Amino acid sequence: MNPSESYYTSARNVQILIYLLKQHKIKKIVASPGTQNMDFVASVMRDDFFQVFSAADERSAAYIACGMAVEAREPVVITCTGATASRNYLSALTEAYYRHVPIVAVTATQLSSWIGHNIPQVIDRDAMQNDVCKCSVRARYINTPDDEWDCTVQINKALLAIHHHGTGPVHINLERGNGTDFSVKQLPAARMIRRFAIGDDLPAFPTGRVAIFMGAHRPWTEQEMVAIDAFCQAHDAVVFTDQTGNYKGKYFVPATLVASQDRYDSPIFETDLLIQMGDVSGDYALQGAAGRFTHHVWRVDPDGKIKDNYHKLECVFEMDELAFLQAYAIHNSDDVKHGDDFLDECQQELAMVREQVPELPFSNIWIAQQLAPRIPAHAALHFGILNSLRSWNFFQTDPSVTTFCNVGGFGIDGGVSTLLGASLASPDKLCFGVFGDLAFFYDMNALGNRHLGRNVRIILVNNATGVEFKLYIHPASRLEEEVNGVIAATGHYGNKSPQLVQHYAQDLGFTYLRATNKQELLDIADTFLDPQLSDRPMLLEVFTSPDDDNKALLTLNSLVLSPENRRKQAIKKILGEKTIATARKILGK
């Protein structure tokens, strides 16, 4: 290619790095010669924004950059090729680490999958010494959209680390693919992620529709609740969250049922800005809908870390939620509409979907429908992961009830023990738990703890299987009966024995209750839900069937049809499935 016709490299990971360096106003580069870093070096040489200096010796180049960075009071990039070239950076990077000098070490490398296969000039840089850099990332060569997302996040992470909690060097291991193409005339944009802390000039609040998505969160203080409501009123915003978010104030939109519709995309999830708070959410449907239809994402988290599960993160606010909410309750743009219009729209949508709920089969979902509104005020409520949490997220408890689930590590183990720990911390507070049989039996030894008190009440939903794997939404359900043996672990722990748990619970001092149908459950509900502490802890074992659990979920997820799906259903009714299948075959679709 004629040099006059050469521009930026077509390697997307290099483009992202160059674009983000420009966004961070990092322009000084000390380059050492080599093949693996030539895509980067040749591209920045042709961009008038950068000042590129040459230094053939990498050890000297790194020290030159140290002197330059200190004198210019700005970050400096150093870049070298593969093999042992990067090892010569270590002395200067150690100096930079202890003197807090902002150096960006860009070490080019071949594909990480080549490491350890006797391929020339391929060494392993994935592990760095503790005092060489503040942050070390791999900017992978990009072949897929997921590769681009990961590369974007990693480079943002490294560049943000330069000045995060003090200044210092960072390392970017830049993978190089095959071929060299410098035909890209216009540098494509990349997503820049910015971080803000208390005392920084905060970005202007955008116009448009705003929602908070709240993952699992400790119970909110009264001051924080007031701040959330003031923020939502100021920006006509709402809060999407499930049981574990522990926010049930005025702007709470319990939209799990709406988000779970298989054939309907609700317009309430179409937001311009989604603000993430809290930790991991176990509400797959709600989290998916809230992120899928929003345009921009901010995250508020005191740890300041980049958590980009929606691939749309733009700003991280390293501060507690109260500081953020109070700042933006008054930090409005003139165009922001105050009021509750969005909240009113959400409530109408929720009412429209809820009124279509029919009679449900006897299942975990039906149990939740009957008991959730009746959980005594000010109680604590713990869930097993996945099916129990999902089932109870469809329905609401009293606003004073605090709700929890082990969604951090998201494992089957420990739910009953976590409930026990909570009950010991508040012996005068009723602590309820809802667990499937596998989760219960996995952790049942906790019930033998001699400290266990009379404030514990457990619902064991026993269907003799890991029902999650048999639900139509799980890919394992396609295996049909084959799923039972190992994947769903069907038939263990007495295979729905009517005596096993009864004897175990009674021998440990529990009041044991049982229900095998709807009427039996309704008959004992008052006893189990008595708001007064009883003489002994209680265990309610409810025997359901996987088929009914599946039918209940399918029913709830099929309440609403979008206009497009209505048309498809009408066409199927008129033409019939065989006619449609034949037409598709002819058309090749």
What band does 267 get if pLDDT is binned at 50, 70 and 90?
Answer: very high
Annotation: CATH topology of 3-182: Rossmann fold (3.40.50)
Of 367, 357, 358, 384, nearest to 544 by C-alpha is: 367
| Interatomic CA distance for residues 283 and 581, integer angstroms | 35
What pLDDT shows up at residue 566?
A: 57
What pLDDT shows up at residue 588?
A: 45
pLDDT over 80 (residue 10): yes
In eight-state DSSP terms, residue 191 is -
Angle at 105 between CA 101 and CA 106, to 5 degrees: 160
How many residues are there in the chain?
589
pLDDT over 80 (residue 206): yes
What band does 135 get if pLDDT is binned at 50, 70 and 90?
Answer: very high
What pLDDT shows up at residue 509?
A: 96
Cα 254 to Cα 160, 243, 245, 310, distances in angstroms: 35, 8, 10, 20
What pLDDT shows up at residue 575?
A: 47
Out of 3.40.50.970, 3.40.50.300, 2.30.30.140, 3.40.50.720, select the CATH number for domain 364-556.
Answer: 3.40.50.970
What pLDDT shows up at residue 364?
A: 97
Predicted model pTM: 0.90
Q: pLDDT digit string (tens) for 555-584?
A: 999 999 987 665 555 545 554 555 445 444
What pLDDT shows up at residue 177?
A: 77
pLDDT over 70 (residue 30): yes
Angle at 366 between CA 362 and CA 369, to 5 degrees: 160
pLDDT over 90 (residue 216): yes
How many other C-beta atoms can be found within 10 angstroms of the C-beta atom of residue 492?
12
pLDDT (mean) for 170-197: 91
pLDDT over 60 (residue 228): yes
Architecture, CATH, for domain 210-354: 3-Layer(aba) Sandwich (3.40)
What pLDDT shows up at residue 118?
A: 59
DSSP string, 40-106: HHHHHHT-TT-EEEE-SSHHHHHHHHHHHHHHHTS-EEEEE-SGGGGGGGHHHHHHHHHHT--EEEE
Sequence-distant (≥ 6) Cβ neighbours of residue 478 within 8 angstroms: none
Q: pLDDT digit string (tens) for 367-393?
A: 999 999 999 999 999 999 999 999 999
Q: 128-132, 177-181, 225-229, 396-400 — which is least confidently predicted?
A: 177-181
What pLDDT shows up at residue 338?
A: 67
| Interatomic CA distance for residues 397 and 575, integer angstroms | 45
pLDDT (mean) for 78-103: 94
What band does 293 get if pLDDT is binned at 50, 70 and 90?
Answer: very high
What pLDDT shows up at residue 266?
A: 96
pLDDT over 80 (residue 120): no
Segments making up each domain of the chain, as ranges: 3-182, 210-354, 364-556
CATH fold match for the domains 210-354 and 364-556: yes
CB 381 within 8 A of CB 434: yes
In eight-state DSSP terms, residue 399 is T
Q: pLDDT digit string (tens) for 434-489?
A: 999 999 999 999 999 999 999 999 999 999 999 999 999 999 999 999 999 899 99
- Determine which helix (DSSP H) or strand (DSSP E) holds 127, and give its type and residue range: none
pLDDT (mean) for 125-145: 90
Edge-to-edge strands, sheet with 456-462? 402-405, 380-383, 431-436, 456-462, 538-543, 511-515
| Interatomic CA distance for residues 105 and 30, integer angstroms | 10
Q: 11-20, 269-278, 329-338, 503-512 — which is least confidently predicted?
A: 329-338
CB 310 within 8 A of CB 274: yes
Average pLDDT of the chain is 91
What pLDDT shows up at residue 6?
A: 66
Sequence-distant (≥ 6) Cβ neighbours of residue 51 within 8 angstroms: 27, 28, 29
